[in-house]
């Protein structure tokens, strides 16, 4: 039993004014998860959505809501997001050095799945304690762009982090986020990523279903060959 491919379109690239129908449309195109980028205008310069929007969307879908918290105080979001119906809660390691144990415990107690994300400038060793502790995170998100905005260029040099994590943790969910699409998926998949976030390449495509299935196949092929 290995890790399975999860294709997670980033709703940041959808039409926020029609979030429920965009979610339904992209799930019908074969998406596994919906990636929800929560930004506070402080940890990153952009400001997006929070728990009220997750709560509204939850009324329209049973899908796994993969929440990526680009916020300075993730602890403040645990309770509201848990109530709102978030599924995954991925916080950044850069701002949680002192309280990640409490964070993980609270996230789990609210029925969500904890994950940890790292920015391009953060070294991979920083997440080891969070994966190897008694109360571990269940996913590591390797940012392949600077967090804050969709539509940026994939950073291939981040694949060393993915390879290191995959060698060390064969059954861990490893997610990549930023600049993923048909031209970059092979590199991420062969490095060992199995959860693929993609915003502009999916929502900007004439046939999102085609892009989603192509990315899934790339992950599955890489797993067969590994």
- CA 168, 142, 116, 60: dihedral to nearest 10 degrees? -130
What is the chain's length? 226
200 and 151 in contact (C-beta within 8 Å)?
yes
Neighbours of 111 (CB within 10 A): 11
Neighbours of 133 (CB within 10 A): 12
221 is in an annotated binding site: no
Q: Which of 62, 64, 10 is nearest to 36 (CA)?
A: 10
Q: Which residues are catalytic?
A: 37, 177
Closer to Zn ion at the Cβ: 85 or 178? 178
> Closest approach of Cβ 105 to ligand DX5, in Å?
25
**Could you say whether residue 178 binds ligand DX5 (CB under 6 A)?**
yes
> Closest approach of Cβ 206 to ligand DX5, in Å?
16
Q: Which two tokens stand for residue 138?
A: 């269940």
Which listed range, 19-27, 105-113, 194-202, 209-217, lies at the site for ligand DX5 (CB under 6 A)?
A: 194-202
**Which of the choices Zn ion, ligand DX5, none does residue 148 contact, using the CB cut-off of 5 to 8 A by kind?**
ligand DX5
With the C-alpha atoms ordered 37, 27, 2, 199, is the resulting torsion angle positive or negative?
A: negative
The only residue of 197, 211, 212, 215 in contact with ligand DX5, by rule CB under 6 A: 197
Closer to Zn ion at the Cβ: 37 or 173? 37
Closer to Zn ion at the Cβ: 132 or 211? 211
Within 172-213, strands assigned E span 173-177, 195-198
> Closest approach of Cβ 34 to ligand DX5, in Å?
11
Which listed range, 90-98, 104-112, 192-200, 214-222, lies at the site for ligand DX5 (CB under 6 A)?
A: 192-200
Q: Which of 22, 60, 27, 55 is nearest to 209 (CA)?
A: 27
- Nearest-CB residue for Zn ion: 68
Radius of gyration of the chain (CA): 16
87 is in an annotated binding site: no
Binding site for substrate: which residues? 10, 68, 148-151, 179, 199-200
Chain positions contacting ligand DX5, by CB under 6 A = 10, 12-13, 35, 37, 68, 145, 147-152, 177-180, 197-201
């Amino acid at each position: 039993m290995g890790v399975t491919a999860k294709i997670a379109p980033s709703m940041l690239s959808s039409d926020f004014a029609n979030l429920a129908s965009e979610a339904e449309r992209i799930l019908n195109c074969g998406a596994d998860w919906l990636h929800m980028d929560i930004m506070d205008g402080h940890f990153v310069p952009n400001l997006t959505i929070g728990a009220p929007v997750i709560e509204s969307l939850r009324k329209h879908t049973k899908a796994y809501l993969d929440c990526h918290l680009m916020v300075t105080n993730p602890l403040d979001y645990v309770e509201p997001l848990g109530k709102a119906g978030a599924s995954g809660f991925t916080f950044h390691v850069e701002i949680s050095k002192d309280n990640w144990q409490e964070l993980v415990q609270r996230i789990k107690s609210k029925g969500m799945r904890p994950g940890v994300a790292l920015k391009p400038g953060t070294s991979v060793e920083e997440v080891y304690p969070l994966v190897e502790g008694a109360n571990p995170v269940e996913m590591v998100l390797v940012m392949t762009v600077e967090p804050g905005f969709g539509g940026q260029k994939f950073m291939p040099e981040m694949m060393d982090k993915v390879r290191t994590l995959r060698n060390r943790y064969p059954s861990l969910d490893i997610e990549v986020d930023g600049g993923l699409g048909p031209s970059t998926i092979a590199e991420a998949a062969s490095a060992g990523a199995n959860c693929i976030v993609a915003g502009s390449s999916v929502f900007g495509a004439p046939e999102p279903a085609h892009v989603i299935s192509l990315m899934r196949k790339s992950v599955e092929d890489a797993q067969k060959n590994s």
